[in-house]
Amino acid sequence: MSDTHNYLPFCRPSFSDNIISDDHGKYDHHYWSPIPSLTKSCMMCKRKSLSRRLTIRRESHISEDNAAHIQIRQDLKPKFAKSCRGLICLWCSEECHRQCWQSVNDNNDDNKCDYGKYKNIIVRPQWLHRVANSPVGFQARFPDNIDPSNSSLTPLIVFINKLSGGQKGEIIYNKLIRLLNPRQVFLLENDASVMQALDIYSSLRNTRILLCGGDGTVGWILSTLAKRFSSLDNPPVGICPMGTGNDLSRVLGWGWSYNMKRLLTTLLHISNAKPIALDRWQVDFEPLTRIDPIEETGSIRRCLSHILDHPKFVREIDRPSYQNYQKPLNVRFTNYISFGLDAAVVLDFHDKRMRDPSKFTSPMKNKLIYLNISRQYFREFALWRAWNLRSYMRIICDGEDMTNSLRHCHTVVLLNIPSYGSGTHPWSRTYQNSISLSNNIPNQTEKFNQINSNRFQDIDPPDYSYDQCKSAREDISNTVESSRASVTNDQIGRQSIDDRKIEVVGLDSIQMALIHIGFRGRRIAQCSQVRLELIRSMPVHMDGDPFYLPQFTAINVTHAGQVLVLTNDNK
Ligand SMILES: [Zn+2]
Ligand SMILES: [Zn+2]
């Protein structure tokens, strides 16, 4: 029996200072902690309750050697209350009776700890060593006798955003530091803390990452990984969805909302999940000299646009406050970037939350406030459909000016993944079977049971009066209803997360509501680079983070390599 086992540790050692190259196995001991009663069968006697007869029978078979150990242990008087009748291993969760524990011989191979059902992802203490003169203090590496290329071991680094999911991050953290090695679980603070965590595990092969957070957190960490690793060289990333949208998590099969049961299932599946490539996109901003908006057609409309108090993406009263949101948190995205109405709602919500956090204390309250802001914006823009993004920006896709396609659009979205705005599919609903690491699948004809976009774009409100707008909206709704029933064959490019193409979709205020019940938006282009030139100031929404861009800004979106993510086939 090793010295370390002459007492009952209440905390597991999370690292080792011993040299491990000769015999890594000798550290695979159970680490027992007292529990009042057993919740499952004892690993020794295979029974849950311990009868008096059984106790006597087992103790009568204890060898003299073991009897000596028992004597030592009784002398040491391990401190556990008389009410504690059992013990649990803090690594593998095996349980055993107090009486049976006295006959456990840790040097017997049958009694080695196998680290339980999370054995593939647990960072074993003997892999972690303290390193002097290092800012991170620790370094992880496999022992010499483990060949990582032939191993099913996929040590996991877990990053948790404490604030995501209605402050559930702390509950997850407390749970995971019990199930795994506490030194492999990190609360997210800043870029430096992420880099330090990656430094500790840089020598450990086959590592994987689990991100517990919303789309904003995922975007941030993927961006940090891209700074540290070259394209497709990062530890692949799985997701525990804790935000409101969770679009990337939906696409990769990790679910659309958080619950503890799903998280535990994720821990079991993440070792077998398949790494796939995900495109990343670079966003560069540049100031422009003044450019003129595209003139509205028709003299009446031209005059009215100057006279009337049309709806605005950036309201004058909000403008001073929005100056705080000029700098985007990152300049690369993986999910989407949107301009216009969608971003205006998100930025307004975000600004209100920053100014008075006491009103945003629960997910339900937040949702109601968000819906209320959306309703105000949507109502204004639904009444003024003719006021569209053409007056605000030019859009150039692969060198071709597509600004005229923004007619009637209140939002333009550049989509990298098929899911947007909490699980809607503005480009195509039939993406699921397309996702693959291989790029062999050719463009294919897809069947849509959705809006015929050509018919939709032909409808134009004839005038600006409320009644006529209202009747025009009813016409649109009727058209949508009738076209929904018809199946339209449409030749489009397959949407995939690894094809180095980005999909550009336009949505008006009505379509923004309809995409939630299965409709799609207006497909503008599928291209490799996009340039937008802002004629007026504009709110922008990028991977969950809203920000504000002043007028006369150009935005260039180009491909920026790929990052490895994990897709879950065991949904
Ligand atoms: Zn154990
Ligand atoms: Zn037992």
Phi, psi of 453 (to 5 degrees): -65, -30
Distance CA(500)–CA(557), nearest Å, equals 12
CA–centroid distance, 205 to ligand 1, in Å, is: 24
CA–centroid distance, 80 to ligand 2, in Å, is: 17
CA–centroid distance, 95 to ligand 2, in Å, is: 8
| Ordered structural domains, the chain, with CATH | 3-114 (no CATH), 125-272 (3.40.50), 283-433+447-567 (2.60.200.40)
Beta-strand relationship, 529-534 and 502-507: unpaired
CA–centroid distance, 109 to ligand 1, in Å, is: 12
Judged against a pLDDT cut of 50, whether residue 435 lies above it is answered with: no
The pLDDT of 524-549, averaged and rounded, is: 90
Judged against a pLDDT cut of 70, whether residue 400 lies above it is answered with: yes
**Local confidence band at 482 (pLDDT 50, 70, 90 cut-offs):** very low
| Closest ligand relative to 32 C-alpha | 1
Question: Cα 170 from chain centroid?
Answer: 17
Judged against a pLDDT cut of 80, whether residue 330 lies above it is answered with: no
The contacts of residue 322 (CB under 8 Å, 6+ apart) are 314, 347, 351, 537, 539, 548
| Closest ligand relative to 38 C-alpha | 2
Which residue carries 């100014």 as its tokens? 355
Judged against a pLDDT cut of 60, whether residue 439 lies above it is answered with: no
Q: Is 398 left (phi over 0), alpha (psi -120 to 50) or beta?
A: left
Closest C-alpha among 420, 233, 247, 215 to residue 330: 215
Express each pLDDT in 135-191 by its tens digit: 778 888 888 777 777 678 999 999 999 877 667 888 899 999 989 999 999 999 888
From 82-96, 113-127, 371-385, 458-472, the region with the lowest mean pLDDT: 458-472
| Closest ligand relative to 27 C-alpha | 1
CA–centroid distance, 277 to ligand 1, in Å, is: 36
* 130 contacts 181 by C-beta, under 8 angstroms: no
| Closest ligand relative to 31 C-alpha | 1
Name the residue type at position 15.
Answer: F
Express each pLDDT in 82-139 by its tens digit: 567 888 888 999 998 888 887 776 666 667 888 999 999 999 988 888 888 777 788 8
CA–centroid distance, 351 to ligand 1, in Å, is: 50
| Closest ligand relative to 47 C-alpha | 2
CA–centroid distance, 30 to ligand 1, in Å, is: 4
CA–centroid distance, 48 to ligand 2, in Å, is: 7
From 28-32, 232-236, 438-442, the region with the lowest mean pLDDT: 438-442
CA–centroid distance, 95 to ligand 1, in Å, is: 9
**Local confidence band at 320 (pLDDT 50, 70, 90 cut-offs):** low
Distance CA(215)–CA(218), nearest Å, equals 5
The Cα-based distances of 362 to 167, 373, 415, 435 in angstroms read 9, 17, 30, 35
CA–centroid distance, 32 to ligand 2, in Å, is: 14
